[in-house]
């Protein structure tokens, strides 16, 4: 039995199939974990959703910002963008309700104790320790499931951009979702920045979330996507798997292991 983590697919169905064939995925014994952003821009998002749904017994998903955008437009039809033909194909599909109800149930953070790894789309806010991260992700997952229309109606926004344990309701939910699914750079005062998205040395006055100090201790390695300009990035406590397939790059999978990552643990197409 092997467990593979896959970076941002973003509707690149053909690449996904080539990738899993490359490492000879066996749905009867292997597991796939997706870092989020299953959909949008690649042209075959409906096929991606259908394939993962059909193999849900061997697949786990963390939601990304594009997945949440899809769910927001599903639950709030007035904000749908007709020019997004990829999303409109999903909304007019006969199995749309089935797929959207399944997608709504997916996680925002997955903790794999066996591999001492945390899977998330964008990252974990630096001042959160592991317990706080788990609790906040669980809070948000429950909030979305219980109040989907209220959440998606109020999801978009950049405030608050500083964490406080006193945050509650939609303010708390918005900060948590922005941290887990949109975060890249922080201001020096710890505030979330939502505009910068380039390479590490491009914004000298900002700090990548995983380099921000002081930060709470986390024993697990954090595996994330969302940052295609960063590409494959493997350091002591973080791994980025978004290698920008939809932008002409590659789709990347990492075979998890209890030991150090080796070159033959990384698969790309």
Q: What is the pLDDT of residue 156?
A: 96
Q: For the residues of 84-125, what is the DSSP string, one character each?
A: -HHHHHHHTSTTHHHHHHHHHT-BSEEEEGGGTEEEESS---
Rounded distance between C-alpha atoms, residue 63 and residue 71, angstroms: 10
Residue 194 half-sphere exposure toward CB, CA atoms < 13 A:
16
pLDDT at res. 263: 84
| pLDDT bucket at 259, cuts 50 / 70 / 90 | confident
pLDDT at position 236 is 85
Selection from 75, 74, 23 nearest residue 251 by Cα:
23
pLDDT at 164: 96
Residue 260 in this model has a pLDDT that exceeds 80: no
For residues 210 and 238, the answer to whether their CB atoms sit within 8 Å is: yes
H helix and E strand count, the chain: 8, 13
Segment 48-98, tens digit of pLDDT: 999 999 999 999 999 999 999 999 999 999 999 999 999 999 999 999 999
pLDDT mean over 234-240? 94
Domain 3-137+217-268 has CATH 3.60.21.10: yes
Q: What is the CA radius of gyration of the chain?
A: 18
**φ, ψ dihedrals at 65, nearest 5°:** -65, -35
Q: Which two tokens stand for residue 178?
A: 């922005």
User: Is residue 269 over pLDDT 80?
Assistant: yes
Q: What are phi and psi of 250, to 5 degrees?
A: -125, 160
DSSP label at residue 36: S
User: Looking at residue 52, what is its pLDDT?
Assistant: 98
254/12 Cα distance (integer angstroms): 17
Mean of pLDDT values over 214-228? 93
Report pLDDT digits (tens) over 171-197.
999 999 999 999 999 999 999 999 998
* Per-residue confidence (pLDDT) for residue 247, from 0 to 100: 96
| pLDDT tens for each residue of 125-141 | 999 999 999 999 999 99
> What is the predicted pLDDT for the residue at 99?
98
Cβ burial 211-229 (10 Å sphere, 16+ → b, else e):
ebeebeebebbbbbbbbbb
pLDDT at 37 over 90: yes
Q: What are phi and psi of 5, to 5 degrees?
A: -105, 130
């Amino acid at each position: 039995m092997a467990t593979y983590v896959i970076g941002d697919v973003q509707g690149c169905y053909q690449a996904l199939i080539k990738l899993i064939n490359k490492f000879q995925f066996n749905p009867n014994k292997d597991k796939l974990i997706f870092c989020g952003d299953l959909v949008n821009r690649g042209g075959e998002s409906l096929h991606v959703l259908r394939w993962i749904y059909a193999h849900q017994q061997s697949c786990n998903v963390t939601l990304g910002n594009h997945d949440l955008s899809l769910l927001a437009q599903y639950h709030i039809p007035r904000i749908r963008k007709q020019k997004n033909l990829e999303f409109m194909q999903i909304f007019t599909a006969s199995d749309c309700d089935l797929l959207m109800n399944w997608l709504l149930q997916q996680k925002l953070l997955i903790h794999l104790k066996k591999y001492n790894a945390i899977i998330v789309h964008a990252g974990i806010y630096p001042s959160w320790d592991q317990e706080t991260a788990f609790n906040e992700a669980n809070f948000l997952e429950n909030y979305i499931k219980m109040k989907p229309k209220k959440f998606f109606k109020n999801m978009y926004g950049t405030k608050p951009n500083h964490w406080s344990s006193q945050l509650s309701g939609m303010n708390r939910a918005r900060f948590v979702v922005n941290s887990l699914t949109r975060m890249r750079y922080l201001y020096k005062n710890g505030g979330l920045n939502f505009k910068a998205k380039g390479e590490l040395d491009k914004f000298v006055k900002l700090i990548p979330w995983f380099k921000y100090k002081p930060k709470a201790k986390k024993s697990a390695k954090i595996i994330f996507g969302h940052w295609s300009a960063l590409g494959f990035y493997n350091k002591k406590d973080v791994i980025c798997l978004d290698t920008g397939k939809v932008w002409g790059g590659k789709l990347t999978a990492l075979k998890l292991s209890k030991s150090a990552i080796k070159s033959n643990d990384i698969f790309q197409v």
